[in-house]
A and B are shown apart, each in its own frame.
Chain A
Amino acid sequence: MINCDNILSVFRGAFFVGDLMILIMPNSLNQIKDNIDLIDGVILSLQDYSVNSLFKITLDELEYFCNLLKNKEIFISMNKNIENKNIDKLEEVLKYLNDYPIKGVLYSDVAFVTYKDDLKYDLVWAQEHLTTNYDTINYWHQFGVNYAYVSSDITLDEINEIAKNTKVKLMTNIFGYLPMFVSKRHIVKNYLKQFGIANESKVYYIKKEGLEYPIIDSDYTYVFSQAVFNGILDYFKINVDYLVCNGFLISDVKFHKVLQIINNLNIDNVVESSKKIDNIIKNTSDFFFHTKTVSRVKKW
């Protein structure tokens, strides 16, 4: 948790909302254990119900993680589209989670909202790439959704404008590879099958013009950005409640160093800290934080 006592920029609208919370989306158990004193909470991806993660836990392991993360906020990522055949099971799982100290569940499929009244924890609208404006976030809020994970392809100004116009608690990325594609197709496995190539890598890369984009083909296929998002330079300008550091494909050692830097952030060392992270990771970008995508839709 960052001490914001002297930082005037951390406001929600006109009101100071207190401390920014640091969550991690771990890529290994060690990324949790090594950093437990540096973080406020964890987003754990649930096996069979989540995308965009390699490190997934099962329901049987949940108790272990709850014990490990006492006094930390625990969010469970279930951000996968749910198929008909899994709907009944989904209801069971969501109710099962009621017995654990879960702060919230990240969801993408609208079906989750239909169970809201039966849940003892909050829902986090985490429909990656669609969480792009405050009106839609407020739409879900009227159904009891109190958290939203804003899309990784909008600007810092857009994020802050969302914050000004909603009561929903917001999460956004601050560090890590960014997801940019999810498919139900087995894009790599089918390619290997098509050409009779034997290879069982956990992570593959697609290379274009010298840049390498991680691609995972497990239950679904996911593609990530070619560089690691580093938004630390704007840390004190981001007007949200939770900042998420994603450990995907980051070594445990480097991830720990990054979290140490973030934990020691203050307004005087933010530039230097951002550079330190650039030096540790080497391949970083602030992506869309200050660069708007081109909308081919004309203004009117």
Chain B
Amino acid sequence: MVELLAPAGDLERLKIALKYGADAVYIGYEKLSLRANAVNFTFEEIKEAVNYAHNLGKKVYVTVNIVLHNEDLQEIETAIEGLSKLKVDALIISDPAIFKYAKKYNLDIHLSTQASTMNYKTVQFFENEGIKRVVLARELNREEIKDIISKTHVEIETFIHGAMCAGISGRCVMSNFFTLRDANRGGCSQVCRWNFTLLDEKKKALGDDNFTFCSKDLSMIEYIKDMISIGIKSFKIEGRMRSSYYLATVISIYRKVIDNCCKHSNTIEYNIKDKKVLSACANRDSTCQFYNGNYDNNCSYYNGRVEISNQDFLGIVKSYDKKTKLATIEQRNYFKSGDIVEIFSPNRDIITKEIKEIYDEDNNIIEIVRHPKQIVKIYIDEKLEKDDMIRIKKD
């Protein structure tokens, strides 16, 4: 069975990720994680996360994937020992200086994509070092991944969805040079998404004034069946800083696709609507990047692109009263009476409804919900569950 592995920036999103179908989540330990801008987890929160996940029969991996400097070495053992006591399921590590501590405290090691592992010899080396899983470099194509799997015995994990670095992971410190924020210690300022002017060797400007390195996102929904067939064991979704809605949407779609592929090998494993929904909840276009061997100029943006924040997500269900058929909603984006919405849930098919009645917290009828995080009640004549997501219906 393959694993669907999702990111979680905090406890709330961890619970959403697991509820919507992730088999495992990866979270950052606040002191040693590469996504310093994510909320990240304290020891206490990791303990709660692990208990929550284990009660569901699911797993929690902790990213300890910064590139260590001397000053980080002093307390690393204490940190790893602490994580081992919390019974986390594995550490995601890029710096091999941490291996000895992970081994000492009997923690499984997953080699991070930050190590940019691109060939089977390197995987074999780490296999001999006792690493349980390798997250391969994001630049590999299908045949390379397949070849690595055929020549090694560790679990292989690859990314299936989300943002991509323009550079080889770990080999880009533009953030350090431009902003002094250390890319390999959690401070990446995403210089690759800035605008530059491109000059030729005579310093003559080429094209217009907005040259960027910006990669489009990765989306492997069309390739999941194939990826399962070549032996990839874990499918990773990028984005510890993504919203609950994004996670719920992406996870639930990939959950469905993976289950279809595993259980009904002759059925269509994804549909166009899923693809559209995935596309709509991101703010960039996506491609399969290097996987099909046709990496070309369509895999990146080159200039002048404005990232538009997604407005589809209207709210999250906090509770549902079966007697009154009123769902209590926490608002995320503007909506109004008469809007046609889709409500999705981990446990049932998507339902489509028109919003007919909206009440404020004092039970006054209102027409428009315009305030972020505003609590309102809407009439829905079908039972909803806590954490169901409501989005505007398109097309």
Contact = CB atoms under 8 A, between A and B. Distances in A.
Interface of A: 81-87, 109-111, 113-114, 128-130, 132-136, 139-140, 153-154, 158, 161-162, 165, 178, 180-185, 187-188, 190-195, 197, 199, 201-208, 212, 215, 223, 225-226, 287-288, 291-298, 300
Max chain A CB contacts within 10 Å: which of B119, B166, B201, B290?
B119
Contacts of A165: 70
Interface in B160-192: 166-168, 170-174, 176-178, 180-182, 184-187
21 contacts: A110-B121, A110-B122, A128-B171, A133-B68, A133-B69, A139-B96, A139-B100, A153-B176, A158-B71, A180-B174, A180-B177, A181-B166, A182-B171, A185-B215, A185-B300, A199-B206, A202-B201, A206-B211, A207-B198, A207-B199, A300-B79
Contacts of B203: 205, 212
Contacts of A153: 173, 176-177, 182
A191 B300 CA distance: 9
Contacts of A194: 297, 302
Contacts of A225: 177
Interface in B265-305: 290, 295-297, 299-300, 302
Contacts of A178: 177
Contacts of B116: 81
B197 A207 contact: yes
Nearest to A190: B297
A103 B95 CA distance: 27
A295 B96 contact: no
Interface in B70-124: 70-73, 75, 79, 94-97, 99-100, 115-122, 124
A187 to B, nearest CB: 5
B249 interface: no
A129 B187 contact: no
B31 A300 contact: yes
Given A81-B116, A201-B200, A296 B206 contact: no
Contacts of B97: 133, 135-136, 139
Contacts of B166: 181, 183, 185, 187
Max chain B CB contacts within 10 Å: which of A184, A190, A194, A212?
A184
Interface stretch (B32-40, B306-314, B348-356, B383-391): B32-40
Contacts of A199: 200, 206
Nearest to B175: A293
B196 A180 contact: no
Nearest to B138: A184
Max chain A CB contacts within 10 Å: which of B176, B180, B207?
B176
A207 B203 CA distance: 10
A84 B297 contact: no
B201 A203 contact: yes
A293 B199 contact: no
B310 to A, nearest CB: 26
Sorted nearest first, the 10 A-B pairs with minimum C-beta distance are A296-B36, A111-B121, A190-B297, A201-B201, A135-B97, A293-B182, A206-B196, A205-B199, A296-B187, A295-B185
Contacts of B69: 132-133, 154, 158, 295
Nearest to A154: B69
A111 B36 contact: no
Contacts of A130: 67, 94-95, 170, 184
A106 B258 CA distance: 42
Max chain B CB contacts within 10 Å: which of A128, A205, A225?
A205
Max chain A CB contacts within 10 Å: which of B121, B170, B299?
B121
Contacts of A296: 36-37, 181-182, 185-187
A190 B117 CA distance: 25
A109 B118 contact: yes
Nearest to A113: B125
B173 A87 contact: no
B56 to A, nearest CB: 30
B119 A193 contact: no
A205 B198 contact: yes
